[in-house]
Structure 1
Amino acid sequence: MTRLAHLGLGGFFRAHQAWYTERANQLGGEEWTYTAFTGRSRGLPEALTAAGNMYTLVERAAEGDTSMPIRAVAASSAGTETDAFAAAFADPELAVVTVTVTETGYDPETSPAPGRLLDGLAARRTSGGGPLAVVSCDNLSGNGEVLRGVLRGLAEASDRGLAGWIDDNVTFPSTMVDRITPHSDDPLTVVTEPFSEWVIAGGFPAGRPAWDAVGVRFVEDVAPYERRKLWLLNAAHSTLTYLGLLRGFETVDEAFADAEVRAAVEELWDEVRPVLGFADAETDAAIDALRPRFANPRIAHRLDQIARQGREKLAQRQRAIMAARTAAGLSPGAACEATIAAFDEIVKKNLVRVD
């Protein structure tokens, strides 16, 4: 039964939300499938439709590949097919809409995604389709509240009745998502790393797949898990990037293999530990999962890509860690300071684009 819709049909969605749904379906019971829409392009949905909407997910570990077919996408279309989009939302069987439109996709001034979602909700209201959950899966802090605020603001400006209907019928769970998925030129093959994580806080008034049975974590507040990812994974990426680029490395695995860079990352994790707010056992588990991810030479995560928007990222990562340590009566942290100094040196030498 197609009770799911998705906006942002791309590699990450097919490696993450669709993958979790496929695995939940394999447990038996009610089968959930997606009607998925791209932002604009027609090429991917045309290729998927020609293949019966089945594709192959390849998990690329250091020691080799593991493949599985994914059938959780029952139909796919270009997001510009407005009639199909409205029909998907109007379907009374629809229970959950997931969204991956990148962080920049939430600004209605520059992105069509918010207006498209609002049109979908308006179509559902008109059809009497009933309540549903709209779930942001983009890397934004409090992404559910961000999406709710954007859509409510648009609705208030155009149709206050729709705004009230949204208040009464639509939930906006917040999530933390994590899985590195490099771009693939083959529309029927998605390559990703073995690791995946999905943490969700919020209600699903019309039901959902058995995601909790296949590793999705449902919590009261997603904010601590966002911070854990930001300060352990993303801050380590900044350390690997700026120290690694100064040493001439190009990818995360190359930088992590260097003894001095690796030591700086380990020191960073030690600096984060006392201000992270998790028990040592959970922090240890999170760090233990990161080491093989960073060391994987078969997932080429380029440092020059991570380096972009460096000042903004450092403010959310190293400088936020330093502020938390200072507030706790600790030193700012040598690894954090070294990462910022390396960034400044890269800017001075104009080694890569960091804006």
Structure 2
Amino acid sequence: LYTLAVRSSDSESLRVVGSILSMLVAPEDPGAVLAALTDPRTSIVTLTITEKAYLRVAGGGLDTAHPDIAHDLANPQMPRTAHGFLAESLARRRAAGIQPFTVLCCDNLPANGATLHRLLVEFAALRGTDLARHIADEVAFPSSMVDRIVPATTDADRARIAGQLGVEDAWPVMTEPFCQWVIEDDFPAGRPAWERFGVTVVGDVGPFEDMKLRLLNGSHSAIAYLGLLCGHETVDRAFTDPAIRQFVDGLWAEAIPTLPPDAGLDTTDYTAQLAERYSN
């Protein structure tokens, strides 16, 4: 169990989440993780491991000189990296005649599905061309985009939530009301009806990534830089500065025409939500 604390500018709601039924810690028992990944009932594997864990070099390719990559190539039964776990479990499924699972990357990487696909094929090629070809041709890697601010949990957060719930939660998750999860619809083995729970399922995640990068990331950076120069300490205070707000509105007006008009993007609603988020 853990607490999800959704905080707006004037209120906070708490929800205790109990959907995680079990947990495996890969460094403690890699064999159990491989068994779960190889299980025929496993049809989708999601990754939220941070950008650093993909072990890329500056040019974007796999860091084949990384000691954990070398370890996984020499010890495929005891992997340390995500690449090692995925490649070994897919190899075992192939040998057993089990359909490959779909790999859904949820990390903040542009074209994250294609990026992980390329990295895993590169890793698998170091094990053998047959496995690399199997992953390249038979395994789906839909892209996704997640947008929700999740600030670090503080001791004050823990104390406040414990007081409200009457129980102690060592690590409640703090977040904002806004939530956007966009997923490319490429699941050969089927998928849950995520649309029922607010997920946007599309044929191409790219336009949504572009909207986030240009309208959110661009304006958020501008507010931070200009706000600091103007003596503001937080984004919400900087956003109330008329000069900064005027600049952001102008930035949005210039960026919106660069987005594809036929991708189903509601930029009016999106920028209105951004304004509300920046004020939180």
Q: Tell me the equivalent position of 2:248.
A: 265
Q: Residue 227 of structure 1 contacts residue 276 of structure 1 at CA under 8 Å; is this kept in 2?
A: yes
Give distance in 2, aligned partners of 1:169 and 1:121.
Answer: 10
1:261-340 alignment to 2 at 5 Å? 261-278=244-261, 282-296=266-280
Question: Partner amino acid for 1:292?
Answer: E
Residue 84 of structure 1: which of 11, 18, 32 is its match?
A: 32
2:211 paired with 1:222? no
After superposition, the Cα gap between the structure-2 partners of 1:113 and 1:251, relative to the gap in structure 1 and judged at 3 Å, is: farther
TM-superposition CA deviations, 1:308-354 (whole Å, max 9, x none): xxxxxxxxxxxxxxxxxxxxxxxxxxxxxxxxxxxxxxxxxxxxxxx
Q: Structure 2 unaligned segments of length 5 or more: list them.
A: 56-61, 69-80, 155-168
State the one-letter code of the partner of 1:139: N
| Cα distance in structure 2, aligned partners of 1:194 and 1:211 | 19
Q: Distance in 2 between matches of 1:120 and 1:244?
A: 49
Q: How many positions carry a matched residue from both structures?
A: 243
CA distance in 2, matches of 1:270, 1:230: 14
TM-score (norm 1): 0.64
Aligned residues: percent identity?
Answer: 42
Q: Which of 143, 159, 179 is residue 174 of structure 1 equivalent to? A: 143
Aligned AA (2:36): A
Work out the CA distance in 2 between the residues paired with 1:278 and 1:288: 18
Deviations 1:156-210 (A, max 9, x none): 1212222233245420001111011112255441111111111111411222222
Q: Take 1:173 and 1:75, find their aligned partners in 2: how far apart are those partners?
A: 25
- C-alpha distance in structure 1 between counterparts of 2:138 and 2:171, whole Å: 36
Shift of 1:281: 7.7
Equivalent of residue 18 in structure 2, options 60, 71, 92: 71
Name stretches of at least 5 consecutive residues in structure 1 with no aligned partner. Answer: 1-53, 297-355
**Structure 1 CA distance for aligned equivalents of residues 26 and 151 of structure 2:** 22
Give the aligned residue type for 2:273.
A
Sort the Cα spacing of 1:267 and 1:190 in 2 relative to 1 into closer, same or farther, 3 A.
same
Q: Secondary structure at the match of 2:23?
A: strand
Q: Name 2:161's counterpart in structure 1.
A: none
**Contact 1:136/1:172 (<8 A) preserved:** yes
Which of 156, 166, 174 is matched with 1:191 structurally? 174
Correspondence list, 1:115-264, <5 A:
115-184=84-153, 187-264=170-247
- Give me the CA root mean square deviation: 2.1
Report if the CA contact (8 A) 2:153-2:171 is conserved. no
Report how far residue 257 of structure 1 moved: 2.0
SS in 1 for 2:253: helix
Paired letter, 2:49: V
